[in-house]
Amino acid sequence: MKLAESVLSGNRLALSRLITQVENNTPEGLEALGSLFANTGRAHLIGVTGAPGTGKSSLVNRLARHYRQVQAGRKDTSVAIIAVDPSSPFSGGALLGDRIRMRDLSGDPNVFIRSMASRGSLGGLARSTSGVVQALDAAGYDIILIETVGAGQAEVDIARLAHTTLVVEAPGLGDDIQAIKAGILEIADILVINKADRPGVENTERALRSMLDLSYPVRRSFRGGNLEKVKAKDESIWQVPIQRTVATEGTGIQELSELISRHKAYLVETNEWERRDQERLESELENLIRLTLMRRFRSTVEDDRYREIVSRLISRSISPHQAVAELLGGLNRGNGDHPV
C-alpha cells in the first residue's frame, strides 16, 4: 500500500521501484498494481514501431519534447517513454545510443524514461510492458510513448496495448523491405516517413499509399484477433494518413502531433477508445487466467508422474492427446471436447 500511495503522490523513486517490482513479477509489485488499477485508463498510449534505421528513437525524442514545449504555456502535459527491446543480441547497441540521445529530456521532472529488455520469452515482455504502462498511467502521465525495437509479434502485441500506433518508415529502402514490412503496416494508425529529406521519399510515399489502398478491406483485422473485413473506404473508418518528418530537425513534428490528437478524437467519438480499452483488459484477464490455471496444474501434478508421461510421449507409446487425457482425466472424444 505504501508503495502505491507514494506513486500516486508523484514520487518518481517509488515509481521506478514499482516498475522494477512489476518487471520482476513480485507479489509486492502485483499488490501495488492492483491497488493502483482504479487510477488507470486516462493516459493516451502511443505505440511507435518500425525497422531499425528509420529513426524511431529520434522521433520519439522529438515528440516528447514537442509535447513538453507546446503545452508548457497552457496545461502541463507529462510524458513517459518506454523503450522496449525484444532481446535481439543485435539491438543492444542501438538502444544504448537511443538512451544517450534521450539525455536532454531526462532533466525534465515531467518526463519519465524507461528501457525494458526481454528476459527470455516475448510473451513475458508483452505482459510486463502492460504492467509498466499501468504503473505510468496510474502515476498520472498524460502521454505514454511505447517504442519497440525489432519486428514481428512484439509489434503486434504492443499495438494491441496502444491507442494510437505510429509505424515509421524511411526512404531508400528497396522493394523487398516494403514487402517484409507489409505485416507491420496492418497495425498502423498513422504512417510516418521519417528522414523525409532523403532522396526517394516520393517513391516511398507512393509505395506506402498503394499498399494502404490494397490492404484497406482487411487492414483493421489485427485489432480483434480475428480477420474482420470492413467496408472499404467506409466514412466511419479511420483513413490512415501518411506524415513526412525529419526528426533530427523537428520538421513535421507539429503536424504529426496534430494527427495524433485527431486520432484520439476519432477514437473517443466512435467509442473505439472504450472498445480498445475493454479489449485490452479482457485479453489481459484471459492471459492471467491461463497462467493461473497452468500454475495450479503444475502444483497438482507430481514431477515424477509428469516426467513418466512425457517419457512415454517421447517414446511414442502415447500420443500428445493421450498424454493430456492421462494428466487431466479422460477427454470425452466425439462430443466436441477437443481443442478449438
**Taking CB under 8 A as the rule, does residue 207 contact a copy of itself?**
no
Cα separation, 308 vs 317, whole angstroms: 11
For the chain, how many residues are written? 340
45: amino acid identity, one letter? L
Question: Which of the ranges 106-114, 240-248, 254-262, 326-334 carries the binding residues for a copy of itself, by CB under 8 A?
Answer: 326-334
Angle between helix axes 303-314 and 320-328 (nearest 10 degrees) is 160
Task: Indicate whether 231 belongs to the interface with a copy of itself (CB under 8 A).
Answer: no
E strand residue ranges, the chain: 44-50, 79-85, 111-117, 143-148, 164-169, 190-193, 242-244
One-letter amino acid for residue 103 of the chain: R
Q: Closest CB to a copy of itself among 107 and 320?
A: 320
Query: What character string, x for contact with a copy of itself (CB under 8 A) and - otherwise, covers 104-143?
Result: ---------------xxxx----x----------------
Q: Which of 87, 115, 203, 248 binds a copy of itself (CB under 8 A)?
A: 87
Determine the interface stretch with a copy of itself among 71-79, 97-105, 251-259, 317-325 (rule: CB under 8 A): 317-325
Window 233-262: residues binding a copy of itself (CB under 8 A) = none
**Rule CB under 8 A: which of 8-67 touch a copy of itself?**
25-27, 30-31, 33-35, 37-38, 40-41, 51-54
Question: 195 and 166 in contact (C-beta within 8 Å)?
Answer: no
* Least distance in angstroms from the C-beta of 168 to a copy of itself: 12
Exposed / middle / buried, residue 140 (Cβ in 10 Å: 0-12, 13-18, 19+) = middle
> Judged by CB under 8 A, which of 2, 107, 226, 304 binds a copy of itself?
226
323 is a contact residue toward a copy of itself (CB under 8 A)? yes
Question: At closest approach, how far in Å is the CB of 19 from a copy of itself?
Answer: 17
Residue 242 or 331: the one with the smaller Cβ distance to a copy of itself is 331
Evaluate whether 164 touches 44 at the Cβ level (below 8 Å). yes
Binding track over 137-176 against a copy of itself, x by CB under 8 A = -------------xxxxxxx-------------x-xxxxx
| Sheet bearing 242-244, strands edge to edge | 111-117, 79-85, 143-148, 44-50, 164-169, 190-193, 242-244
Residue 169 has phi, psi (to 5 degrees) of: -120, 175
Distance between CA 89 and CA 43 in Å, rounded? 32
State how far the Cα of 41 lies from the Cα of 34, in Å rounded to an integer: 13
Closest CB 4 distance from a copy of itself, rounded Å = 11
Here's the x/- map for a copy of itself, 255-294, by CB under 8 A: it reads as ----------------------xx--xx-xxx-xxxxxxx
